[in-house]
Amino acid sequence: MTHPNWAVWPGSPYPLGATWDGEGVNFALFSEHAEKVELCIFSATGRRELERIGMRWQTDQVFHCYLPEARPGLLYGYRVHGPYDPAAGHRFNPHKLLLDPYAKAFHGQVKWSDALFGYPIGAEQEDLEPDGRDSAPGMPKSQVIDTAFTWGNDAPPRTPWHETVIYELHVKGFTARHPQVHPALRGTYAGLATAPVIAYLQRLGVTAVELMPVHAFLDDRHLVEKGLRNYWGYNSMGFFAPDMRYCASGHVNEFKTMVKTLHSAGIEVILDVVYNHTAEGNHLGPTLSFRGIDNNAYYRLVHDDRRYYMDYTGCGNTLNMQHPRVLQLIMESLRYWVQEMHVDGFRFDLASALARELHEVDRLGAFFDIIHQDPVLSQVKLIAEPWDLGEGGYQVGNFPVGWTEWNGRYRDTVRAYWKGEPGLVGDMAYRLTGSSDLYESSGRRPYASINFVTCHDGFTLEDLVSYNEKHNEANGEDNRDGESHNLSWNCGEEGPTRSKHIMDLRARQKRNLLATLFLSQGIPMLLAGDERGRTQQGNNNAYCQDNELSWLDWDLDAYGRDLLPFTQYLIGLRRQHAALRRRHFFQGRPIMGAGVKDLAWLRPDGEEMAEEDWGQGFARSLGMFIAGDLFEEYDERGRRVRDTDMILLLNADHDPISFRLPAKPERTRWEVLVDTVYPRGPRPDQRKFHSHELYPLQGRSMVLLVNASRPAPPTGNGID
């Protein structure tokens, strides 16, 4: 049914997708098992299908054609013909309009109906027979775009890993309620690039924003029918297109403007990406794209019954990383976001699923091999969520050199320690020093550990100290969803309270957790809003709450007015002191003939801990001495890195303890920089101490002292 006025040329099998070259548009779609492919052209609104063009040319399993009269803005989709045989893994159904896996933009949103499924909903044989209804009226349309953009002098900040401070945020939730952002821009890429938001991030001191998924994603049918939506976005429909719900202008270039503006402020952009599964779900899910294009190629199917999917993700399916075209899709998507969109790195959701060659997790999987040899991707920041839901999927510490990891061990240990659980000082010592037990033996550095206490998935910091139990009733699943083992403590009363004693204790616990985060070796990641006391009212799985429960509240209460500057101060300390962001693990022994170690662990009597001290199950206090001069580290010009000596004191017990400061170095004047007992810092008369003097370490508190007899270099850059 090609219109006689449309010229159709053979075109090229590469590049895949719809590519505007300044004269026309080349269309190319991979399908290994398809028998026929039709390119469908739609009206400007996407409501009417105008043309169906048979893609008669096929090269290396790629169907292709070229429309010399097509222009950017054109809306299109595909209908793919072939066998409908679920038992053999084939689910072709030309009645279902399919999104282009390589589309750079989508127009419109999914409008749920039974027609979106490849089989008749409610049929006795479930998915074994095809459905004949046209799905096009309820489907978004792929859109041709012009990728041209004036980047000017944009350059990636390239912040070294050891100087990085990550801020995890949701594009919509961060500005949806911001009073200084124009209402039309709130919750958008443009809103994130406004001057008040940029200024806030700079004052806070973070060096990178980690954006929760911005790839175009699907709101699940069961959520929509309950008046909810997939707010977090871990439900990808396409790996090249930014979700246009976050776009105030309706143009992809808005995302590029956001990146360029953040770069100008010295802030990197890291994307949380979901390549382990798609929004099409299990064998009873909708047919939107990959399933209808070539189900056998794109998905991991059960070997002896290909009707069903291997599910390592808990989302119904797993992408087939064993197929070279699937690897190509993901690699070209990643390169597109770096080269065309200028992002600075990626956090890979459920990254263990990407490493599975057969069933076991293979740390040398093809995906990692390809990443390491890629001249573009090997140069950006790579962060793994080092687990999936399959057998053997928990892989903290096992990713290759060049990768960093969300350190779940760090989160759990720090939470349990400040909750007051005994027997954790040994594990806590590893977490404070960069988790050498997880990363050192494989040749990695302290910055392999992305340290976090909270993230989008789970309690906020405020809720971590306010609730013993999850309260997810708003999700409509009778509070069955979400993690039950949270290592949280409500400080004596569940949820909101009028008790000043409890509120003060919660505030101190938040300071303890933040101080631990920013004074530990490794890379700190702060969840947006934790510095302000953001609450989700005890909901630890707010994935479907696109409302004020999840959005950041920019009004500060009295506790928030103290917590925000305290957080800024901690980040500033980290920036000023090289000893807090080492590039190498401590050696724990005398270095270069010096009389002291680079690191020593202290008992409350000021003496160095002996082997038997670590096994004291009741011990909840710990001292850590850091020798500021003993760095075997150099800057980019080969100059020695210097800092001042430091002491960290931690007491997770409810009772105070007198902690004797070490006798060496002798005649040292120690200055208190942090004591979490004080919301705004100790008074001047509470800041000065000397060698061998007793420090009154209060219950549930953390202290940082520095050697005031030998201060750090005045520039604060730690360079000799």
User: Which residues are designated catalytic?
Assistant: 349, 385
How far is 131 from 142, CA to CA, in rounded Å?
23
Element (H, E) at 561: helix 558-576
How far is 275 from 236, CA to CA, in rounded Å?
8
Cβ pair 327, 370 in contact under 8 A: yes
Cβ pair 311, 280 in contact under 8 A: no
Element (H, E) at 599: strand 599-602
Tokens, residue 163: 């100087």
Letter string b/e over residues 638-667, b meaning 16 or more CB atoms within 10 A of that residue's CB: eeebbbbbbbbbbbbbeeebebbbbeeeee
Tokens, residue 59: 């090269």
Burial environment of residue 469 by CB neighbours within 10 A (0 to 12, 13 to 18, 19 or more):
middle
| Beta sheet of 141-143, edge-to-edge order | 49-54, 36-42, 75-81, 141-143, 106-107
Helix, strand, coil share of the chain (percent; to 5): 25, 20, 55
Burial environment of residue 300 by CB neighbours within 10 A (0 to 12, 13 to 18, 19 or more):
buried
Phi and psi at residue 701, to the nearest 5°: -150, 165
What residues contact residue 329 under an 8 Å CB cut-off, 6+ apart? 16, 101, 102, 239
* Residue among 410, 492, 425, 496 at smallest CA distance from 455: 410
Letter string b/e over residues 431-445, b meaning 16 or more CB atoms within 10 A of that residue's CB: bbbbbbebbbeeebb
What residues contact residue 612 under an 8 Å CB cut-off, 6+ apart? none
